C-alpha cells in the first residue's frame, strides 16, 4: 500500500489554513492513486472534543479517508520497539539539559537557534548518576551526520541540520520526530503533504527513517496561510474555523478552492481540475469575513 495522510493534533478546532492543507493532502494523494489516511497526533495538548470536531469538519468538506482513524496514543508499543532498536545499536543516549539551557548555549553563526550541541553526549557513568538525581533524562539520537538532504516537490533539494534531537522527552512522552517517522513507515505513508513551516524538520525525520531501515517519503511542503499582518494564521484572527465561517454564511469549500485557483465546489470537482504542477508557491493571505 502507498498512501498520503493528514495528521492533525487535537489541541483545538482546525482553522481554514489547516483545512486547506488537508484538502491539498487529499487531492495530492488521490491524484497520484494513493490511499488517504487520517491520523490523530494526540501525544500532547489534547482538548476534549477537538478530535470529534476536526473529523466532522473534514467530512463536511467532503474529505473521505481509507480505513480507521489511527491515534498515536494507542501506538506506544511501536515507538518503544523503535527506541529499543536504536538503543541496541548505540544510537541513543540520556540528556539532562533543559530547553532553556539549550537555547542559551553558544551556537555557531550559521546554526539556527535551539540546535543541540551534544552537551550530554559523552557523560561518564558518574556524571549521569549525578544528573539523574536532579531531573529525569530525555533520550536523544546519537546522530552520525551533521546534516541530511531531502527532495521536496516544491522546494527541490533541501539540506538541513541533523543534531542529536530528542526521541523521548524527560516526562516519558515520545517526541514528535520519532512518532511521525514510525507511524508513516508502519502505515505505508510514502507521500507527506504538509505546511512549509515543517520543512526544517524533514531532514531529521528522513534521516531517522533511514536509520530504522525505511525509505523516506516524498515530501510536498505547501505554502501556509497567513493573516493580513503576514503572520501565520491562528484562531485569534477572527472567524477562521469551519463552523465560524458557516455561521457567517461563508462557503469554506469555495474559499479554499479559490485560494488554490480552482473553481470546483466539491472534492470530486476539485480533483478533476487539480494539477500538482500548478500548486501555488506563495502563502495564502486569509482575509476574515465581516461579522
Q: Is 137 annotated as a binding residue?
A: no
On the 0-12 / 13-18 / 19+ scale of CB atoms within 10 A, 60 is middle
pLDDT on residue 275: 93
The reported pTM is: 0.93
pLDDT on residue 105: 76
pLDDT on residue 291: 64
Residue 104 lies in a domain: no
Q: Determine phi and psi for 67, rounding to 5 degrees.
A: 75, -175
Distance (Å, rounded) from C-alpha 87 to C-alpha 83? 6
The residue whose grid cell reads 494526540 is 42
Residue 57 lies in a domain: yes
Q: Identify the CATH number of the domain in which residue 46 sits.
A: 3.40.50.620
Q: Is 117 annotated as a binding residue?
A: no
Encode the chain (291 residues) as per-residue pLDDT tens digits: 799 999 999 999 999 999 999 999 999 999 999 999 999 999 988 999 999 999 999 999 999 999 999 999 999 999 999 999 999 999 999 999 998 888 877 666 666 777 898 999 999 999 999 998 999 999 999 999 999 999 999 999 999 999 999 999 999 999 999 999 999 999 999 999 999 999 999 999 999 999 999 999 999 999 999 999 999 988 787 879 999 999 999 999 999 999 999 999 999 999 999 998 888 889 999 988 876
Residue 43 lies in a domain: yes
pLDDT on residue 279: 86
Q: Is 120 annotated as a binding residue?
A: yes
Assess contact for 127 and 93: CB atoms under 8 A. Answer: no
Q: Is 94 annotated as a binding residue?
A: no
Q: Is 82 annotated as a binding residue?
A: no
DSSP line for 3-69: EEEE---SSSPPBHHHHHHHHHHHHHHHHTT-EEEEEE--SS-PPTTHHHHHHHHHHHHT---SSPP
| Measured torsion, CA atoms of residues 56, 62, 68, 73, in degrees rounded to the nearest 10 | -50
Chain centre to alpha carbon of residue 106: 28
Q: Is 7 annotated as a binding residue?
A: yes
For residue 272, what are the domain limits?
A: 3-72+223-285
Catalytic residue among 99, 135, 235, 281: 235
Residue 269 lies in a domain: yes
| Measured torsion, CA atoms of residues 215, 39, 74, 51, in degrees rounded to the nearest 10 | 160
Domain count, the chain: 1
Q: Is 116 annotated as a binding residue?
A: yes
Residue 44 lies in a domain: yes
Residue 152 lies in a domain: no
pLDDT on residue 40: 98
Indicate if 235 belongs to the active site.
yes
CA angle at 49 for the pair 47 and 50, rounded to the nearest 5°: 60
Q: Is 235 annotated as a binding residue?
A: yes
Residue 171 lies in a domain: no
Residue 280 lies in a domain: yes
On the 0-12 / 13-18 / 19+ scale of CB atoms within 10 A, 46 is middle
Amino acid at each position: 500500500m502507498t498512501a498520503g495522510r493528514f495528521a492533525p493534533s487535537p489541541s483545538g478546532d482546525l482553522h481554514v489554513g489547516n483545512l486547506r492543507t488537508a484538502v491539498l493532502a487529499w487531492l495530492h494523494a488521490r491524484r497520484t492513486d494513493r490511499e488517504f489516511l487520517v491520523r490523530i497526533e494526540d501525544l500532547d495538548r489534547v482538548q476534549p472534543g477537538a478530535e470529534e470536531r476536526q473529523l466532522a469538519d473534514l467530512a463536511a468538506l467532503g474529505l473521505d479517508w481509507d480505513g480507521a482513524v489511527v491515534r498515536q496514543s494507542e501506538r506506544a508499543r511501536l515507538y518503544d520497539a523503535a527506541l529499543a532498536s536504536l538503543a541496541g545499536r548505540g544510537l541513543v543516549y540520556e540528556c539532562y539539559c533543559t530547553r532553556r539551557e539549550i537555547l542559551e548555549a553558544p551556537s555557531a553563526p550559521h546554526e539556527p537557534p535551539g540546535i543541540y550541541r551534544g552537551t550530554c553526549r559523552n557523560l561518564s557513568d558518574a556524571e549521569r548518576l549525578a544528573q539523574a538525581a536532579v531531573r529525569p533524562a530525555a533520550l536523544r539520537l546519537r546522530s552520525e551526520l551533521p546534516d541530511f538532504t531531502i527532495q521536496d516537490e516544491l522546494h527541490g533539494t533541501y539540506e538541513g541540520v541533523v543534531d542529536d534531537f530528542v526521541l523521548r522527552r524527560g516526562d516519558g512522552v515520545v517526541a514528535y520526530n520519532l512518532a511521525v517517522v514510525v507511524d508513516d513507515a508502519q502505515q505505508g505513508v510514502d507521500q507527506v503533504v504538509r505546511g512549509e513551516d515543517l520543512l526544517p524538520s524533514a531532514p531529521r525525520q528522513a534521516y531517522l527513517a533511514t536509520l530504522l531501515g525505511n525509505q523516506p517519503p516524498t515530501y510536498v511542503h505547501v505554502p501556509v496561510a497567513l493573516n493580513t499582518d503576514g503572520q501565520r494564521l491562528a484562531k485569534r484572527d477572527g472567524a477562521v474555523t469551519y463552523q465560524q465561517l458557516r455561521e457567517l454564511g461563508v462557503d469554506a469549500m469555495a474559499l479554499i478552492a479559490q485560494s488554490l485557483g480552482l473553481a470546483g465546489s466539491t472534492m470530486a470537482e476539485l480533483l478533476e481540475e487539480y494539477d500538482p504542477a500548478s500548486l501555488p508557491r506563495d502563502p495564502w493571505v486569509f482575509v476574515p469575513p465581516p461579522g
